[in-house]
Amino acid sequence: MLRVVIIGSGNVAQHLAKAVERSGSATLVQIYARHAEKLAFIVPEDKITASLNNLAEADMYIIAVTDDAIAEVSSKLPFEGRLVVHTSGSVAMEQLDSKNRRGVFYPLQTFSKNKDVDFKKVPLCLESEYENDYVILEELANALSDSVYNTGSEQRKALHVAAVFVSNFSNHMYALGSAICEENNIPFSILNPLIMETADKVNTLSPIQAQTGPAVRHDQKTIEKHLDFLKDNSRKEIYKILTQSIQNTNG
Amino acid sequence: MLRVVIIGSGNVAQHLAKAVERSGSATLVQIYARHAEKLAFIVPEDKITASLNNLAEADMYIIAVTDDAIAEVSSKLPFEGRLVVHTSGSVAMEQLDSKNRRGVFYPLQTFSKNKDVDFKKVPLCLESEYENDYVILEELANALSDSVYNTGSEQRKALHVAAVFVSNFSNHMYALGSAICEENNIPFSILNPLIMETADKVNTLSPIQAQTGPAVRHDQKTIEKHLDFLKDNSRKEIYKILTQSIQNTNG
């Protein structure tokens, strides 16, 4: 059984820890957290350490901390020549300290507290400094997910930017829609079927084919009515720039 | 059984026609289309007419044409005093010709060709000039959907703007993500689980709680890397303005 140590206690670390524990074919040996209380009820207490110097022996160390802290944490590891990976979409593998064998284990998903994720469906994007290590990364990835990809640094960077658009920015569109509902005493839940159907459509249609609404219809009357309705300047600006972009993209 | 005539042959008309046919508790008496061939295989040929003067007797006439054509079509109807509704989110009920009893039957969903929709889950937003007619609209709505709302014109306008944000604009975020994937030889399908999870999250979390990514983390390094990666000026601009808006909204 692959022995895994996770370093970090945020959303990615927690979801990953649960997935390893549940996999049955890899063992979570230990998890490092400066604040152990964040992991209460997620992993057994005796698996948590608050000191990097106490890190247990393992086949793989997964650094799941904020992007800015990855380089520093990796340089503080008190050992050499072991397999150390990070989970970030946008940090180069080379940011990891070169005293260890480096790699990337990037789960392409959005993780929130209090929202379970079916890890089997999470695409895992792998990268390794040495070919032999790729086999180890792949073994863990296959134990956790049905969807494993070998991506180079450039592709991973592109994927991360694409992910910001399809996930972070889409979610912000939901936030703006929700604010408009709230201001007009409409329950946001009325929009849920529309949100789910919009997401579901691009499983079978390309987003270009799936585009509907006043922008793609060049329905200038409705567009002007909407701009008139939006009193907030920032929302007006977003409405204009996205309408323009839809018209440029869809023709 | 409620007898329904649909006027129009676009996506909304087609999905509505199928829903009425399947409902079992309302009858599609007839459908008007200038180009009957658009409805081939969707409704039986003998139910299609290309002439407004041939319109059959019915309890309700549903005008499902483009927003700009609603007023004109309603004024051309060769009868008076009957119940005539439109299906638009953004057109006032009063745009319908006043010679008939007016109403609105607005399905809050995105309809595309070649993509079936579970009509039972489509929120239907109703409005009527006369109280007695609301009962008729409600009877049809309940026959087609489990989700029926009485919305005034102002609320409907707000909902339509909110729908543009959560659906049309989100879909455009998918289009931009898809373009980035294509340009980097990555299959867009790798993003589907992320897209579905992002949509699914706001069934249980508020969009504010669900927000993840570099903008909400104020991760300036990643934001700059992404802007540097985006060569296209329009995408750069969208990335900046949405990052700013997330930071203003989430604090």
CATH number of the domain where residue B114 is located: 3.40.50.720
Q: What type of residue sits at position B114?
A: N
CA distance A46 to chain B (A): 30
> Is residue B113 pLDDT above 90, yes or no?
no
Residues A92 and A162 in one domain: no
Cβ of B162 within 8 Å of Cβ of A169? The answer is no
The size of chain A, in residues, is 251
Residues A34 and A129 in one domain: yes
Residues B46 and B117 in one domain: yes
ipTM of the assembly?
0.90
Residues A173 and A137 in one domain: no
Q: What are the pLDDT digits (tens) for A192-209?
A: 999 999 999 999 999 999
The predicted pLDDT at position B121 comes to 93
Q: Does A229 touch chain B (CB under 8 A)?
A: yes
Residues A142 and A167 in one domain: no
Residues A31 and A58 in one domain: yes
The alpha carbons of chain A give a radius of gyration, in whole angstroms, of 22
The predicted pLDDT at position B152 comes to 87
Determine the 3-state secondary structure of B238 from DSSP.
helix
Residues B170 and B130 in one domain: no
Q: DSSP state, A169? A: I
Cβ of A167 within 8 Å of Cβ of B195? The answer is yes
Distance CA A14, CA A120 (A): 16
Distance CA B23, CA B146 (A): 12
Q: Mean of the per-residue pLDDT values for chain A?
A: 94
Q: What are the pLDDT digits (tens) for A60-97?
A: 999 999 888 999 999 999 999 999 999 999 899 999 99
Q: How many CB atoms lie within 10 A of CB A206?
A: 14
The predicted pLDDT at position B49 comes to 94
Q: Measured at the alpha carbon of residue A251, what is the angle toward residues B185 and A211, in degrees to the nearest 5?
A: 75
Q: Name the residue in chain B with its Cα closest to that of A189.
A: B203
The predicted pLDDT at position A160 comes to 95
Return the bridge partners of B242, or none.
Answer: none
Both tokens assigned to A75: 């340089």
Total count of domains within chain B: 2
The predicted pLDDT at position A144 comes to 97
What residues make up the domain containing A144?
2-151
Residues B137 and B171 in one domain: no
Q: Measured at the alpha carbon of residue A127, what is the angle toward residues A99 and B243, in degrees to the nearest 5?
A: 100
Q: Mean of the per-residue pLDDT values for chain B?
A: 94
Reported as type and span, the H/E element at residue A83 is strand A83-86
The predicted pLDDT at position B111 comes to 87
> Is residue B41 pLDDT above 80, yes or no?
no
pLDDT band at A45 (very low <50, low <70, confident <90, very high): confident
Report the percentage of chain A scoring pLDDT > 90.
85
The predicted pLDDT at position B35 comes to 81
Cβ of B195 within 8 Å of Cβ of A185? The answer is no
User: Which residue, A11, A53, A5, is CA-closest to A28?
Assistant: A5
Cβ of B123 within 8 Å of Cβ of A215? The answer is no
Q: Which of residues 177-196 of A touch B (CB under 8 A)?
A: 177-181, 183-186, 188, 190-196
Residues A169 and A134 in one domain: no
Mean pLDDT, residues B76-99 taken together: 96
User: Which residue, A67, A60, A55, A66, is CA-closest to A30?
Assistant: A55
Cβ of A108 within 8 Å of Cβ of B194? The answer is yes
Out of A130, A151, A172, a domain closes at A151
Q: Which of residues 70-89 of B touch A (CB under 8 A)?
A: none
CATH number at residue A202: 1.10.1040.20
Q: Name the residue in chain A with its Cα closest to that of B243.
A: A169
Residues A147 and A166 in one domain: no
Contacts of A141 in chain B (CB under 8 A): none
Tell me how far the alpha carbon of residue A219 is from its chain's centroid: 36
The predicted pLDDT at position B80 comes to 97
Reported as type and span, the H/E element at residue B250 is helix B233-250
Residues A44 and A136 in one domain: yes
